[in-house]
Structure 1
Amino acid sequence: MTNFILPILAVILGVILAFITKSQKSWNTKLLLSFSGAFLLALTLFELLPEVYHHLEAKRIGLLIMCGILLQIVLELFSKGAEHGHVHIHKDEANFPWLLFISLCIHSFLEGFPIHEHNDMVYGVLVHKIPIATLITVFLLHSKFTKLQMGLFLLVFMFMTPLGTLISNLSNLQESTVLSINAMVIGIFFHISTTILFESSDGHKFNVSKFVAIILGVAVAYLM
């Protein structure tokens, strides 16, 4: 049950943080993004990647990971990078952002597939979704969308990851199919987490706080 509740809780926490910060990217949100990127990448390397390589042929896995990276690149053509903290909604925007909504839902749905009781990927998704939900909510609040539109956007977004987990764990999909999807999700996670980690700091200066957040993310993932 925890695997279904935690992703929902992440979005709720993100919404609460958005109402507290009321800004696009506060200092704390940037650090949380850095921590989440490192944590998600480390968990993917420590748990998800070995699991997939244990069951599938190596070259096939490599191809699927590359497909996942390419899929995320395509999704970001429509989301403009919202999956790793870049949300571009103008304050005067009144039309519902269908492309952003659909691409985020696809991403959230797929990231639910690797979550099961035998790994800790749910915590990686949890930490990843909190800052993303925060930034999405902030931009929605700054737009001219109705409260109903904002509520439906966040509600559907909130349940897409548990839906992916539900289908992965309870459907009649063959194990090889689920593992193949997981391999694609590895590519998605690689793209998102490395984009967060490799983004230049303000003024291209070494950011000690960001570096510490990254080290902590890796350390926590390793110790789990």
Structure 2
Amino acid sequence: MTYIALILSVLVGVLIVFGLKPSNKTAQLLLAFSGAYLLSITILHLFPEVYSSEVSNIGLFILLGLLFQLVLDFFSKGAEHGHIHIQQNMLFPWALFISINIHAFMEGIPLAHNHHHEYLLWAIVIHKIPIAIILGTFFVSSNIPKIKAILFLVLFSIMSPLGSLAGENVQFLTIYKTEITAIIIGIFLHISTIILFETSKDHKFNLLKFVAILVGMFVAFLA
């Protein structure tokens, strides 16, 4: 069920691109909702989990996750939180390809240790749908060969399941599951806060985005 949900989240996002052709404004509202949900799940559930463990200096691992995502952002140009820029005569974005798949793989690892925590699975699923929409829109609008775009999206869809599978079977990941979860918390904090707290270009209050954030937080509170 976990693997299927993760793969379907990317497929749903791509189908939305081709079926509904959502506007950039719609994608940004979905992204705001997912960011609010992800941040709320992190604070309400993941924080208490790692801080109730016997691992010392857990905050250092959270900071490590923040720094690691900063490095990934340098290569992905912020694709994980909705920033993709199309350029004329653009070649296949290998840096984006590698960094966003590393991100997807890592966020799947804690699922191996939290099968009873459905809120974590749904946080990742809800986060992946708008990202898949943005990636799908990016590939449709660019001149990148379709076969490469399809392979990119297929690989992206299976990276989180592969991360979860590795978390179940790789001894190192099992032994240090709490520390790894803390690193993932740092990654989630970085992504979700950038999504939520970036100011608009005109620095005006966006009521629709605010409502999307409130709904995301409320749904996470009910989880």
What is the TM-score with the length of structure 2 in the denominator? 0.93
- The structure 2 residue matched to 1:77, chosen from 69, 74, 89, is 74
Is the 1:8–1:159 Cα contact (8 Å) retained in structure 2?
A: yes
Asked whether the equivalents of residues 56 and 176 of structure 1 are also in contact (C-alpha less than 8 Å), the reply is no
Question: How many residues align structurally?
Answer: 220
Shift of 1:91: 4.1
- Which residue of structure 2 lines up, in the alignment, with residue 29 of structure 1? 27
1-structure distance, mates of 2:197, 2:88: 28
Aligned residue for 2:171, secondary structure, equals coil
| Equivalent of 1:40 in 38, 41, 45 | 38
Unaligned 5+ segments in structure 2 are none
Measured after TM superposition, the shift of residue 173 of structure 1 is 3.3
Task: Say yes or no: does 1:109 pair with 2:105.
Answer: yes
Change (3 A) 1:174 1:191: closer
Are 2:180 and 1:181 aligned?
A: yes
Which AA in structure 2 matches 1:67? L
Question: Which residue is equivalent to 1:151?
Answer: 150
Closer, same or farther: CA 54–176 of 1 in aligned 2, 3 Å: farther
C-alpha contact (below 8 Å) 2:166/2:173 kept by paired residues: no
**Partners in 1 of 2:51 and 2:21 — Cα distance?**
43
Verify the 8 A CA contact 2:32 2:196 in the aligned structure 1: yes
Is the CA contact (8 Å cut-off) linking 1:79 and 1:104 kept in structure 2?
yes
Give the 3 Å change call, closer, same or farther, for CA 172–212 of structure 1 in structure 2. same
Query: Could you list the per-position Cα deviations for residues 55-101 of structure 1 after superposition, in whole angstroms to 9, with x for gaps in the alignment?
Result: 24342x111111110110010111000000001232421x2211000
Q: Which residue of 1 aligns with 2:206?
A: 207
The normalised TM-score by structure 1 is 0.93
Aligned mates of 1:14, 1:132 — CA distance in 2: 8
Aligned partner of 2:47 among 46, 49, 67: 49
CA contact (8 A) 2:168 2:174 kept: no
- Match of 2:79, as an amino acid? A
| Deviation per residue, 1:109-142 (Å, 9 max, x gap) | 0010122312121100011011111111111111
Q: 1:197: which partner in 2?
A: 196
Report the CA distance shift for 1:174/1:199 in structure 2 as closer, same or farther (over 3 A). Answer: closer
Secondary structure at 1:201's aligned position in 2? coil
Q: Distance in 2 between matches of 1:9 and 1:184?
A: 25
Counterpart Cα distance in 2 of 1:151 and 1:63: 38
Detail structure 1 runs of 4+ shifted over 3 Å in the superposition: 20-23, 173-176
Tell me which moved more, 164-173 or 32-41: 164-173
Measure, in 2, the Cα distance between the counterparts of 1:205 and 1:221. Answer: 26
Contact 1:113 1:165 in 2 (8 A): yes
Name 2:93's counterpart in structure 1. 97
CA contact (8 A) 2:167 2:174 kept: no
Tell me, in whole angstroms, the C-alpha distance in 2 between the residues paired with 1:41 and 1:126. Answer: 14
Per-residue deviation, 1:27: 2.1
Question: Contact between 2:101 and 2:156, CA under 8 Å: does it hold in 1?
Answer: yes
